[in-house]
Amino acid sequence: MDKQCIRYYIKTRSLLGLNATQIHDELITAYGQDYVSYPTVARWLHAFSSGRESLEDDPRSGRPITAVTQENIDAVKDLVNDDPHISIDYIADILDISCGSVDTILKQHLRLRKVLSRWVPHELTQEQRQRRMTICAENLEKLESGVWRLCDIITGDET
């Protein structure tokens, strides 16, 4: 049950003449101890008894969370495609959004990570996986045929 449903329930039960304790007890019985606090029930009951009709939150001051938009995601993607060595701070300065928002866009929305100062996809595509399988099979064949020795192969992690 979301906030508006709880508020609707409180409003309905108050119209039936129940007090804050009774409404709170009903909600706790139905949904559990940590579902809604008594002060919350009492505050909304008082608001409804004072004539409030809206179940919505009142608008609050503060900076809205609007930095992670499709427009900014596309802009970050373009910047990274143009320069894979670009830094989070530089992207944040160009787009005038926070470094945390840029980090969220890069890691959660674009699924990129920084490898050797370059942004690369976090997950391999099917083509990349197939290429790695082919290379491994070729290396194994060379090892088994005796063309290569184990000390001739240099390996490393992408990071």
Residues 134 and 97 in one domain: no
Q: Cα–Cα distance between 91 and 78 in angstroms, integer?
A: 11
Report yes or no: 113 and 119 within 8 Å, Cβ to Cβ. Answer: yes
DSSP string, 79-125: HHHH-TT--HHHHHHHHT--HHHHHHIIIIIS-EEEETTEEEESS--
57 falls within a domain: no
Residues 44 and 18 in one domain: yes
What pLDDT, on the 0 to 100 scale, is given for residue 132? 85
Domain that holds residue 132: 124-159
In the structure, what pLDDT confidence band is assigned to residue 155 with cuts at 50, 70 and 90?
low
- pLDDT at residue 159 above 70? no
19 falls within a domain: yes
Give backbone dihedrals phi and psi of 87, rounded to 5 degrees, phi first: -95, 160
Q: Evaluate the CA torsion angle 93, 94, 98, 102 in order and state its sign.
A: negative
- pLDDT at residue 30 above 70? yes
In the structure, what pLDDT confidence band is assigned to residue 139 with cuts at 50, 70 and 90?
confident
- pTM for the model stands at 0.41
Residue with tokens 């990570």: 113
Report yes or no: 110 and 80 within 8 Å, Cβ to Cβ. Answer: yes
Residues 80 and 109 in one domain: yes
54 falls within a domain: no
Q: Could you tell me the CATH number of the domain that includes residue 25? A: 1.10.10
62 falls within a domain: no
22 falls within a domain: yes
- Helices then strands, counting H and E runs in the chain, come out as 7, 2
Residues 117 and 77 in one domain: yes
What pLDDT, on the 0 to 100 scale, is given for residue 154? 67
Q: How many domains does the chain have?
A: 3
Q: Cα–Cα distance between 50 and 86 in angstroms, integer?
A: 56
Residues 130 and 156 in one domain: yes
